[in-house]
Chain A
Amino acid sequence: MPLIVDLVNPDLALMLPQLIVLGLAILLLVADIAVPKARHGVVLTWMALIGMGAALIANFTMVGTNESTFNGMFRADDFSVFINLVVLSGAILSIMVSSSYLEGHIEAGSMPLAEYYVLLSFSVLGTMIVGASGDLLMIFLGIEMSSLAVYALTGFARQRVSSLEGALKYFLLGLFASAILVYGMAWTYGATGSTNLNDIARSLSGVVTDGKVEASLLLALLLLIVGLGFKVAAVPFHMWTPDAYEGAPTPVSAYMSVIPKVAGFAAMTRILVQGLGPLRDEWVILIGVLAVITMAFGNIVAVSQRNVKRMLAYSSIGHTGYILAGLAAFETINPNGEISVASVLFYLFAYAFMNIGAFAIVTWLQARGSGTDLEDFAGLGSRSPLAALAMAVFMLSLMGLPPLVGFYGKYYVILATIEADMVWLAVAIVLASAVSAFFYLRVIATMYFSEPVRETPRTSTPLLGFGLVSMVAGTVLLGIFSSRVLDLASDWVQAFSVPI
């Protein structure tokens, strides 16, 4: 009975990074009741940081593996390694941003630290599972695990109505999206007879040679794209984003602007490229049109925002558009020179550093008693030059200025679109970036050329400061070493090549 043997001896070594994060989540729960309340801030934060760091180190030992376990449900390959890298770095940076903000609220008892880190760990675990799944069911499981934790985190400032409002909107629309997604998975299963991604690709490879696609398969494709479009906040499925980002506690906004998005894109790549890759001709145009609408809408609406958190929410919609454009440039799984998925992965990594960084500065200001409106940034350049410099670096990187990592992210996406003969997509990216320059530069102009409205009191936030330094360093250095990172990202090709 081979089935029993495989179930009894799953290769747990392949899941090491995921198991470490799971262990961390459970240990944090235990530590919540075992550690005295007064020492929570120090102990729990360092536990979370060390746990995520250990998972990151374990992840690096997996580079180059290409195996699956649990009957093909779980995969450890270069794609999952890269997704883990993005997610764990994002999580470590978010924890650094969170700690001072939450400790400031411990007195009031409104934001229990332990539950925050537990929810964050489970959300990270869910995203890692999506990246490492070889089956539609695992993708759904991972996405739900990731989303449910983030719904709760959005409403974490439970005494503030806007936080609850954002959480409820996110929750209801997220549930709706999940239902659509699972409906699409059901149609995929109905049309192909399998939920395993490689089996789906194998059963479809005959369909493509006929050049005719069944309506049922097309319906599955549409439902999957709509469901995942909600998760990555692509227009027209973005309605929850601004309210959820604005209402959530700022460190949570930093976290949820990156990690659930990574989960969505990991799922999109797994499903569309690995599973439905043979249907490329059908979905590339859908994703391409979605990309153009998303980047146009996100960037144009961001122009009229006076609240920096809301502005960053719309700007993150715009960035979703760029990443979708990279996915739309997919041609075929080709070991030599297929760059589209590599550009998606690289962009996600770059985006994690610069976007969490931008939210970290907002958190930094809030820790000093400031608000989140554009006026609160007035004169920051003279009040605290280092914070203003960091914000300027993040803004310029989000805009896409050359030596910084944001430029390389956009560069590879544009390269991929041109190689795929989709010049219209490249033109759209350039135009959208030109629009985005307005509101990113406006923040810089407010910081340096406006009179300060208020003072910035000195408050000690060492971990946040260290996080900010590492994010600035990442934003600058990742750009310089971009070709090394891109090489790592390009290894996904080996992982997805299906033996037929």
Chain B
Amino acid sequence: MLQSYAIIGLMLLTAAVMGSSLLIVGRLIRPSNPNPTKLGVYESGVPQVSPPRARYTPRFYVVALLFVIFDIEAIFLYPWAVAFDALGLYGYIQAIVFISLLLAGLAYEWKKGALEWV
């Protein structure tokens, strides 16, 4: 048993040495030549126009969430549609339940005013 623990310790040690040595060796042998262009944010070759850490409205988050909801809905409905004959009435009811759950979520979001973009 102690031998097994020694193996685990060896593994952890290897992981630590490997990770840190890669960082240290990299720092030692790479040339260091910073200039403003190099330190700037890479924006597909376009010059940077505003600081990248600007605050942005949480509405984007809600939109992303909506996208995920409908995206996932499509992903799950597609296999159901393909296997519609094999799944039969039971699968149909399950899909209806699934869609109505998502609809309840959408109604909630709508009523809470998350879709009003002002």
Contacts and interface: CB of A to CB of B under 8 A. Distances in A.
A32 to B, nearest CB: 7
B65 interface: no
Band of interface residues on B: 10 to 19
A219 B107 contact: no
Given A215-B7, A218-B5, A219-B11, A8 B88 contact: yes
A222 interface: yes
Contact of A26 (B8, B86, B101, B111): B101
Interface in A199-216: 213-215
Interface string B1-14: 10011011001000
Given A8-B87, A8-B91, A33 B108 contact: yes
A282 B2 CA distance: 11
A213 B107 CA distance: 54
B55 interface: no
A222 B101 contact: no
Interface string A335-370: 000000000000000000000000000000000000
Interface of B: 1, 4-5, 7-8, 11, 86-88, 90-91, 101, 104-105, 107-108, 111-112
Contact of A218 (B8, B87, B88, B90): B8
B8 A33 contact: no
B104 A9 contact: no
Given A4-B86, A213-B1, A215-B8, 10 more contacts: A30-B107, A30-B108, A33-B108, A33-B111, A215-B4, A215-B7, A215-B11, A218-B1, A218-B5, A222-B8
B96 to A, nearest CB: 14
A282 B1 contact: yes
Contacts of A33: 107-108, 111-112
25 contacts: A8-B86, A8-B90, A8-B91, A9-B90, A26-B101, A26-B104, A29-B104, A29-B108, A30-B107, A30-B108, A32-B108, A33-B107, A33-B108, A33-B112, A213-B1, A214-B4, A215-B4, A215-B7, A215-B8, A218-B1, A218-B4, A218-B5, A218-B8, A222-B8, A282-B1
- Of A29, A215, A282, chain B has the most CB atoms within 10 Å of the CB of A215
Nearest to B91: A8
Contacts of B7: 215
Interface of B (DSSP majority class): helix
Nearest to A282: B1
Contacts of B86: 4, 8
A222 B4 CA distance: 12
Interface string A1-32: 00010001100000000000000001001101
B12 to A, nearest CB: 9
A394 B73 CA distance: 48
Contacts of A215: 4-5, 7-8, 11
Interface in A223-258: none
Q: Which of B8, B91, B111 has the most CB of A within 10 A?
A: B8
Nearest to A112: B112
Contacts of A214: 4
B104 to A, nearest CB: 6
Contacts of B5: 215, 218
B37 to A, nearest CB: 35
Nearest to B12: A219
A8 B94 CA distance: 10
A32 B8 CA distance: 52
Contacts of B104: 26, 29-30
A222 B5 CA distance: 10
Nearest to A33: B111
Nearest to B108: A29
A213 B4 contact: yes
Contacts of A213: 1, 4
Contacts of B90: 8-9
Nearest to B8: A219
Contacts of A30: 104, 107-108
B13 to A, nearest CB: 13
A4 B87 CA distance: 9
List the 9 closest A-B pairs by CB distance, nearest first.
A215-B7, A33-B111, A215-B4, A218-B4, A219-B8, A29-B108, A30-B104, A26-B104, A215-B8
Interface in A29-52: 29-30, 32-33
A4 B88 CA distance: 12
A214 B101 CA distance: 46
Nearest to A285: B1
Nearest to A211: B1
A30 B107 CA distance: 8
